[in-house]
Amino acid sequence: MDKTRRRMLQGGVAAASAATFVAGCFEPLNRMAKGLSGSSGEKPAHPIYGNAPAPEYRVDLATGDLEINEDQRMAFTDCYRCTTQCGVRVRIENGTDKVLNVRGNPYYPLSSDEHLDESVPVRDALQCVSALGNKGQENRSTACARGNAMIAQIDSPHRALNVLKRVGPRGSGEWQTVSFEQAIEEVCEGGDLFGEGAIVGLRTINDPDTPLDPNAPELGPKTNQLLVMEATDYGRSALLKRFAFNSFGARNYGHHGSYCDLAFRMGAGVVMNDLNNNAHTKPDFANAEFALFIGTAPQSGGQSVQAPGPDDCGCARQRAGICRRRSGAERIGCEICAGVKLGACAPGY
């Protein structure tokens, strides 16, 4: 092959590769150049803390006196990013009511290893999670990654605020906003809603008298073609059950527990020969040297796995004499610390 032609081909391949790279990485590169908030190149408000919001309060480390930030307030509430419903503290900016961040609630058992009794005054609780006497670092109260992301339920630009109907092929990402009235009409009446053929509506299958399959009477009437499912109880479970069972007459209702922890509990129940109560065990992370998680993210969710307090390598520290601390973490995995294998902590949140 001619050397000139070869160089041309090589140059074309290199140019195409570069173009493909730039096209695929345009958004990340753009964020690197401008910053996530478009503030790249601008002088931050503080040389160390950057543009972080002002603290909600300050503690005098000598006297323990609290100085409250009057521009902010703290709300003690529940997190509903999973069904554990952990107690959290939500920091809110007065005037705008903007949520600044989500943190652990020191009164809640899963938020710290040594949670506070509900009779402890809030002032004492704020001191407990501060740097006073190193309390906050030794027994810091945190929220998991999912709990911290709870802010997105309020201010994410990707929230669906209206009913969206697909107008393009599946997977095309083409949607249009329709009214609730239109959505209800189409769900009930059916029709060629997407240009892909007729779809049966709820009115058609709402037939409690005709068997779904005469040869399989155990399936019940045609009404049972409706399956009502929900993720978890956000206060709507009673309404959905009333609609499915009493109003429509279907028997197919699936709740969060049906396809989440029920499988775990039934499996444990089989192992322990107690399917009546689905007896199950809890992981003993405090005494585990190694934990293997399959199909779960222990730092992003609750139930028995969440324990986002300080590192709890007490036994390991006694064995090894040292442990590298990772703040606000769960006790999982293993780590080589001073040449000794010991129970370690997942990255902080």
| pLDDT tens track for 122-131 | 889 888 888 8
Vertex 45: Cα angle to 42 and 49 (nearest 5): 110
Per-residue model confidence as pLDDT tens digits over 5-58: 666 666 666 666 666 666 666 666 666 666 555 566 678 888 888 888 888 899
Task: Give whichever of 5-19, 111-125, 158-172 has the largest mean pLDDT.
Answer: 158-172
Place of tokens 């409250």: 68
Q: Which of 146, 141, 129 is nearest to 85 (CA)?
A: 146
Task: Measure the CA–CA gap between 345 and 313, rounded to whole angstroms.
Answer: 8
CB 100 within 8 A of CB 53: yes
SS3 of residue 210 by DSSP: coil
Length of the chain: 349
Whole-model pTM: value is 0.61
